[in-house]
Structures are given as structure tokens and as C-alpha cells.
Structure 1
Amino acid sequence: MGVVTRARKKRKLEEEQEFVDDFISGLPDGVLGDIVTLLPTRDGARTQVLSSRWRHIWRSAPLNLDLQKPLRHTPARDFSRVLSSHPGPGRRFTIDMRYVLSRDSAPLELEAWLRCPAMDSLQELEFHLGRPFEFPPLLPASLRRFSCTLRVASFGACSFPDGNANALHLPLLNQLSLVSVRISETSLHALLAGCSVLESLLLEDTNGFPRVQIMSTSLRSIGVCSPWGDDRLTQLIIEDAPSLERLLIFGGREMDISVISAPRLHILGELQGRGQMLRFGATALQGSTVASLTTVVPSVRALALSHMTPCLDVAINLIKCFPLLEKLHVEITHDREENTSSDKYQEPIGTLDIRLRKIVLAYLNDREPDIEFAKFFVMNASMLESMTLEFIGSDAWIRRQRRLLQVEKRASKGARFDFVSRNRSFSLPRAKQVHEMLILDPFQRVRR
């Protein structure tokens, strides 16, 4: 009897030790399901082999299906098999049909997949229907079944039906991306009107409407990139956006942008050195140049400029226009040789209240205009905390820059100066800049 008791105690101790070693398996099914749902598709499915405890979790957890570039050689029938083996509901479905073998039938295949029971109650959907169609296929009609559940959506390479009657109504949608889509101005306004809690919007290479007028109490972030060619976006009007915090303008053709009411706009850019016309009431900016300055814009804290010739007149006028500016990102171009150095500026620089804390200068070289431009901030930005100079050069170049900028005489004694190689940095993806509001500086560059 004593032997049996000792054996039972031993097994009990082993079971308890196994539970300690695999504490995560002791969590409730609902928690394990949330964990599996957040994993990539393949990893989530593989959890079934961990133990019998995990075997049913993947099929009972909300489906998280990411079918993008890594699966480019997977036949479409395999996708169908995954969907048929899962009872649902769906949480996230991401697919780029350019990497599915049956490209010619991509719209029909996507339509069939979206109607599967595994997609019931889908919350996040991202698809790209494929090649740059001259007349992209219509938006899948099955999307309407998710009108009461979708919270995140990205539609690519498709066209929207015209008219208010056919507009999608997505009352829970929080994030929306339209990429390489064709949509009329009427349909776009109807779509936005049907997204009553939308917080972030990306319009990238869209066609079919020359202008868009934004009236939204919920939008906090807008990103636009106007494509080349006819029938493109040329005019953006922020009519009434009381919650708007960031307006991001990506590379592309020039646009005419009017901000009538956006009192919380903190982040603005990239303004190009030429091309865009930006109006804040009676104040107008042509590219990065202040064309007329009637009123200041005190809400803007972060500003990005691209294709800018290093010119102190421009820099000083921008500081006047945005008097509370704290972060400045500048991509320098060398198309022209014009520059106004600090000692040539007509007004006393000492009267300027420069509140800049962070400055990033990209494509800097050791020409006199570039040095004078950077040196102006070194000598006058008394609240500066960091200054990053991106270059393509050698260690000797860095030593020369430090000497020319006279950083030891800087106005802000606590300022840090970083000299980095532009070859080792890249911008954040556009969708991340627009939709991830926790990224406080969407213009930051990531180091490899």
C-alpha cells in the first residue's frame, strides 16, 4: 500500500511540475484562443501539435488568416481548404491576390472566400485584387455582410459602384485605406458618411475624383498620395474636422489643400519645396514657401518638408507661420544654388522665438548653403534637444561637418548631434504613419 501511495505522489508531483513548466496551457480556452488569433496563420495552426490541450484551440479561436507574399506559391485551392476546415468566426483576413496562382479569376475567388462561414463576423479585412487594371473589378458584393462587424479595412485595385444608393455603410469602421482604387467623388463622400466613427483614412494612388471635402467629427489622421495621370486628386478641403491631429501628404503630384477648420492639427507634412498650395484661412504656403502670412497656425507641432532648397528666408517664415513648432524634418534638394545666409536676413534673428526641440536634415552635404542653413539652427535654437544630419559620406566628412557647424558654440548646451548614413535608414510604411496613432512622430526614419 505504501508503494502505491508513493507512486501516486510521484505522478502527482510530475503532473504539477508539468503544469509549472507549461503554465500557459493552464490558461482558460478563451485566453488561449486570443493568443492563437494574434499569431501568424501558420504559427496559429501549428499550435495544434503542442499537446492535446491545444488541439481544439485553433479551430475554436477566431480565424486570423494572413495570405500575402510569403505564400506566393500556394494554390488557391489550399486557401479554400483552410477556410472550409475552420468553423469561424473570422477576426482578420489579409490577402494579396497578386501572389495567388489563379490571378485571372481573383475577384471570383475572393468573393467565394468572403462568403465562407469561417469569415462570419470579420473584424479586419485587407485585400489587393492584383495587377494595375485599367478598369479594376468591382468591389466584392459580399463585403456588405460585414457592415456591422468591420473595424479595419484596406481595399486595393478595385472599383466602387457609383451613387449614394450603392455606398457601403460601415458604422464600426475605425481605419480605412483605399489603395489604387477607382471611386467617384459622390461615392467617396457617401462611403465616408457611412463610417461614422472613422479615425484614420489613407487615400493612396486613387482615381476617379478630382476633389474631396472632409467633414468628420471623428477623423484624427488623414494621409493622401495623388497619382500621376488624369482623373487624379487635385484638391483636398478640410471643411470641418475638430478631431484631426495629423495631415500627411506623401509623394506624388501637386495638390491644392485648404484647411478651413482643424483646430487640433498637430502634425503636418510632407510639404514639397514646390507644387503644393496649402491654405490656412488667409495664410497661404506655396510648397515650403510662405506666399502670404496673415494669421499664424499655433496648433502645428511637427512639420516635414521635402525637396527644399536650403534657404533661411523660407525657414524663418515657416517658424513665424508655425510659432509653436517643436519638430522639423527637412529633405534638402540641390536643384538651385540660391540661399540666404543668416547674416543676410533682413530682420533681427534675435527677435525670433524658436521653440524647436528636434531637427532632422536629410541629404546634407558640405556646400556653403547647406552649412549656413544647418548652422542657423545650431546657433539660434536655444531649446534644441537633438539634431540629426543624414548624409552619404565618410568619417572624415563627419569631422568636417562638426568643425563647420561649430557645434561647440551651440545655443542649446544640452543639444545632441547625430551624424548618420542615409543608406542605413528608411521611412515607415504609409499605412503605419497614418493609422498607428501611438507613433508620435510619423516622419521618423528607422535605422537598419
Structure 2
Amino acid sequence: MAPESSQPAKKRRTYRCRRCGFPKKGHVCAAAAAAPGDLPLLPSPEEEEKVDGISALPDDVVHTIISLLPTMGGAKTQVLSSRWLPLWRSAPLNLDDAEIPDLWEDFLLNVITEIITDHRGPTWRLSITKLARVNEFRGDLVATLDDLLRSGTLDGLEELRFHYRPNMTAPDPLPPAATRFSCLRVASFGFCSFPGAGVLGGVAFPNLQELTLLAITNSEDTLHAMISACPVLRSLLLRDNDAFRRVRISSPTLVSLGLCSRTSDMEELIIDNTPSLERLLMFRSSDKLPRVVSVFSAPKLEVLGCLSDGISDEHYGVVVWPQQLRVNSMAMLRTVKILAFRIEENSLDATVHILRCFPCVQKLHITLAEGLFVPDIHNGLVDDAAAIECLDLHLKEIVVRNYRGQKSHAAFAKFFVLNASVLKVMTFRACVRLSKKWLSNQRRLLRLREKASPNARFEFSCDGYFMDYYYNHSQRSHQLSVGDPFDD
């Protein structure tokens, strides 16, 4: 018998009648008797390939497509056809200077000004991040940028990102016109200082839902004024605002609050009157976060992290050292479903206490710090595990980062293997090479055959050393559709 061919059989082409569209083989066209001009001929396959379906769309739809393209991609649509030539200049403008090819600052400002001045349509998004306040040839650009932002083309602006190029010498004032846009839905201000309190008092952003403040040199009073000016604010991200000392967050509409900093200058963060808050996200290690976090009113809080170990009870609630988390009552922590924390010392004391403080948690992200000590696993804590509600009823998923597999790490992880009764999956993000011998040894050390949950899966993946949740993760403060902001 001849061997079967390994090459797939070629698909036979079907020829169709150009009048009625039916296959020609064995076909008698019912339209053959019709007058020659009564029925239109169907286009041939070659003609179908030449059909431009996008150009046949209404102008409003094409405008939307162009406005969603990157800046240079939208501009290049002018060369596609004569019909597309005027569309970019009248479509809603999406202008991002980071997408413009590298130019000297002087030329870049000229290009931005020319695009905005010549554009005949509205502007829905503007991002300026590559300009310094002081230009080598033009000097101080604050007045020039202020005039640019007062252009009528920008009146309906919906998204604004205005960041000066970082300058470590002196505060760079934000052009006053940057706060004039009442239609803004998304705003990000960076490496600048807002006008004085008297000017900011008249600012209003009735439609702003997403706000980022990066390296603002004003005090926390400016932040409080900004929050008051945003009645429908849903997500707020504060990054590297070293002048903020005692911050109070009060917003009935805020859903997500993110903090990210390279320093530890913030003394206290107070969460008050936030009935809609679902996420309190603190990126970076605990010694770079507020010394005290006081939560007085957050009845819907479901996602919290990244905390540190070393928790102890006190009369006002919970204290996390060196970072203190204060709540009115322990009952407030029952709403937390996703929790991320960092273990500085590989001790079950701290871990078990965290689990008791958050009895309804369903998913844990645990980061093991470098240079951990062997845990004291013979202190009776394992015997008391039955008193931990989340282990018995709620905890379904665990992610362990920086897992190396030595006996101390395995003993720590084994606590969850033997006591999490409803666990579905436990993922070990190991920072070592995974070999068959290593994996076999881990299954033995972790005692996976004695798992408390019969349906639990245990997965190992090779990963680099995980330092901290930082800028890449901090952007998820605004991604409300992402279920777990601590996932990679």
C-alpha cells in the first residue's frame, strides 16, 4: 500500500454562475432567459478583492476609525485615496507627541501647534509629555503653551495628558488654560505645580472620571480641591507626590484609589466617606507607602494591597507594621475578597494573623522577601488553623511569588496545602530553574498528596525575582474592568 501523503489536499475551486451565484457544475441558470440588462452580474473574485469596503462607510464612521488610530497612523490615511484626503483634518483629533518621530523640542512644538491650528474638526485627546518648561531657543514656554491650550480646536477636549519633562531644579507651573476643559473625562498632570488656591477654587471638572497626579509639587490642599472639583470621579492614581503629607480622600463616587511612590514622605492616608470605594491599591514596598492608612468608611472595599506582615490587634482595629492600617471595626474587613501582602520574615504568626483579619478573602497574592528566616512551624498555629474562616470556606486561589523551594519556603506553603479546604489553584512563581528533580522534590516537601482540598491544582512557573508592584501595575488603578489588578 502506498504511503499516505503528508501534504494537505488542495481545496478545489468552485466556479459559480455570475448571474445567480449558484455553482456552475450541473447548473442551468434560471436567469438565462431574462433580458441581458435585467439582472446585474456578480463581481468576479478579482473584482471582489479590489472593493474598498471602508471607503463605502459613512463619513461619521470613518471619522471614528481615524480618531482611534495613533497620531501618525491617522495622518497617513490622507494618502490612501482622494476621498480620505480631507477626512483626517475634520475627524476628532487624537494627538500624542510621543507618537511623533523624534524632533528637536523647538520643531516638535511647531508641529504640535501647526496640527492644532490647521485642524478643522474637534479634538478628543491631547497628550504632551516631551516638552520641558524652558526651551533652549524660546525660553520659558508657559505662556506659549497656555496660548496653545486656549485654541478653539481644543474646546471639547475629553482626554488630556500634560506632563513636563522632569526637572529637578524648581517647580514648573502648569499653564492655567490646562484646567479650563469642562468636558474632560480623563486627565493626567505630571511634573508641575498647580496655580494658587485662589485660582484652583474656581476650577470644575463635571465629567472627569479618571485622574492621575504625578510628581505634583503642591501640598495635599491642592489634591483635596481637585477631588472636590470632580463630582463623578471614579479612579484616582497618585504617583510620586512627595509634597503630600496628610491626605484625606472623600468622594462618594470613587471606585479605585492607587498609590505609588519612591519615597515615604506621606505620613497618613485617611479614607473617609467613600461609599463606592472597591479598590485600595498601594504599589511599591511597604516602607515607601503611607506610615498610617486610616479607613473610616469603605463599605464596598473588595481589593486591598500590597500590605506588609507583622500585624497585631489594637483597640481601634488593625495595625500593620511598619505600615499601619486602621479601621473602625474588624467587621469592615469582611468585604475584602482579594488581598496582596508581602512577607518580610517567613513567619506563620504574621500570616495566620492576616488570614484572621480578613476572614472572607478568596484570593491571596503573597510575595516572599529575600533572605527569609526558617519559620517556627511547631508553635501550635497549624493546630489552630480550623479557627480561620477563610481557609475553611472562602480561599480558592493563591499566588506565591519569589518561591525558591528551600525547606523554609516549602514549610510556609505547606500550611496552605494542608489547611485550605476549598482551594482550587495554588501557583508558585519560582525564581529558580525548574527541573524534573526539583519539581519531584517540591511535591514531596509540600505533601501534595495530603492536600486538604480534593479539587486543588498546584502549578509551577519559572519567573524572575519580583521586587515590587510598581508603575506597570499602578496603571491598573484605572482599569476597572480588570478583575484582579495584581495579576501579571
Q: Under a length normalisation based on structure 2, what TM-score does the superposition of the two structures give?
A: 0.80
Q: Deviations over 1:324-360 (max 9, x none)?
A: 1011111111445252326642752233331211111
Please state how far the C-alpha of 1:89 moved relative to its aligned partner: 1.0
Q: Which residue of 1 aligns with 2:320?
A: 285
Q: Distance in 2 between matches of 1:214 and 1:267?
A: 17
Tell which structure's C-alpha radius of gyration is larger: 2
In structure 2, do the counterparts of structure 1 residues 277 and 429 end up closer, same or farther at CA, with 3 Å as the change threshold?
Answer: farther
Q: Distance in 2 between matches of 1:124 and 1:277?
A: 44
Q: Percent same amino acid at aligned positions? A: 35
Q: Which runs of 5+ in 2 are unaligned?
A: 1-34
Whether 2:193 is the aligned partner of 1:162: answer: no
Aligned-partner residue type, residue 316 of structure 1: V
Please state how far the C-alpha of 1:431 moved relative to its aligned partner: 4.4
Q: Deviations over 1:236-270 (max 9, x none)?
A: 00111000000011222442100001000000011
Q: Deviations over 1:350-381 (max 9, x none)?
A: 33331211111111122322111111111111
- Please point out which of 124, 128, 147 is paired with 1:91: 124
Q: Which residue of 2 aligns with 1:73?
A: 103
- Please point out which of 405, 421, 430 is paired with 1:391: 430
Aligned-partner residue type, residue 363 of structure 1: N
Q: May I ask how many residue pairs the two structures share in their alignment? A: 437
Please state how far the C-alpha of 1:291 moved relative to its aligned partner: 10
Q: Which residue of 2 aligns with 1:319?
A: 355
User: Secondary structure, in 3 states, of the residue corresponding to 1:53?
Assistant: coil
Q: Distance in 2 between matches of 1:160 and 1:431?
A: 23
User: Secondary structure, in 3 states, of the residue corresponding to 1:71?
Assistant: coil
Q: Distance in 2 between matches of 1:54 and 1:157?
A: 38
Aligned residues: CA RMSD:
3.4
Whether 2:219 is the aligned partner of 1:184: answer: yes
Q: Deviations over 1:375-396 (max 9, x none)?
A: 1111111211211111221223
Q: Which residue of 2 aligns with 1:438?
A: 481
Alignment of 1:165-244 (within 5 A): 165-167=199-201, 168-228=203-263, 232-244=265-277
Aligned-partner residue type, residue 337 of structure 1: F
Q: Which runs of 5+ in 1 are unaligned?
A: none
Please state how far the C-alpha of 1:140 moved relative to its aligned partner: 1.1
Whether 2:408 is the aligned partner of 1:378: answer: no
In structure 2, do the counterparts of structure 1 residues 316 and 214 end up closer, same or farther at CA, with 3 Å as the change threshold?
Answer: same
Q: Which moved more, 1:130-139 or 1:201-210?
A: 130-139
- Please point out which of 294, 312, 324 is paired with 1:258: 294
Aligned-partner residue type, residue 260 of structure 2: C
Please state how far the C-alpha of 1:18 moved relative to its aligned partner: 5.6
User: Secondary structure, in 3 states, of the residue corresponding to 1:97?
Assistant: coil
Please state how far the C-alpha of 1:287 moved relative to its aligned partner: 4.9
Aligned-partner residue type, residue 70 of structure 2: P
Please state how far the C-alpha of 1:443 moved relative to its aligned partner: 0.3
| Contact 2:434–2:462, Cα closer than 8 Å, also in 1 | no
Please state how far the C-alpha of 1:97 moved relative to its aligned partner: 2.0
Q: Which moved more, 1:133-142 or 1:160-169?
A: 160-169
Q: Which residue of 1 aligns with 2:449?
A: 408
Q: Deviations over 1:150-201 (max 9, x none)?
A: 1100000000123254233211100000001112222221111011100010
Please state how far the C-alpha of 1:295 moved relative to its aligned partner: 2.4
In structure 2, do the counterparts of structure 1 residues 118 and 293 end up closer, same or farther at CA, with 3 Å as the change threshold?
Answer: closer
| Contact 2:382–2:415, Cα closer than 8 Å, also in 1 | no
Q: Distance in 2 between matches of 1:46 and 1:215?
A: 45
Whether 2:303 is the aligned partner of 1:267: answer: yes
User: Secondary structure, in 3 states, of the residue corresponding to 1:93?
Assistant: strand
Q: Distance in 1 between matches of 2:226 and 2:381?
A: 49
Higher share in helix: 1
Aligned-partner residue type, residue 386 of structure 1: V
Alignment of 1:27-42 (within 5 A): 27-42=57-72
Please state how far the C-alpha of 1:32 moved relative to its aligned partner: 1.3
Please state how far the C-alpha of 1:132 moved relative to its aligned partner: 3.3
Q: Which moved more, 1:367-376 or 1:48-57?
A: 48-57
Please state how far the C-alpha of 1:55 moved relative to its aligned partner: 2.2
Q: Which moved more, 1:108-117 or 1:213-222?
A: 108-117
| Contact 1:279–1:285, Cα closer than 8 Å, also in 2 | no
Q: Distance in 2 between matches of 1:429 and 1:106?
A: 31
Q: Which residue of 2 aligns with 1:54?
A: 84
Q: Deviations over 1:73-131 (max 9, x none)?
A: 36322222222331231111112125999476454553343233332211001121012
Q: Distance in 2 between matches of 1:413 and 1:88?
A: 62
In structure 2, do the counterparts of structure 1 residues 162 and 420 end up closer, same or farther at CA, with 3 Å as the change threshold?
Answer: same
Aligned-partner residue type, residue 392 of structure 1: C
| Contact 1:312–1:339, Cα closer than 8 Å, also in 2 | yes
| Contact 1:211–1:235, Cα closer than 8 Å, also in 2 | yes
In structure 2, do the counterparts of structure 1 residues 34 and 101 end up closer, same or farther at CA, with 3 Å as the change threshold?
Answer: farther
Q: Which residue of 2 aligns with 1:249?
A: 282
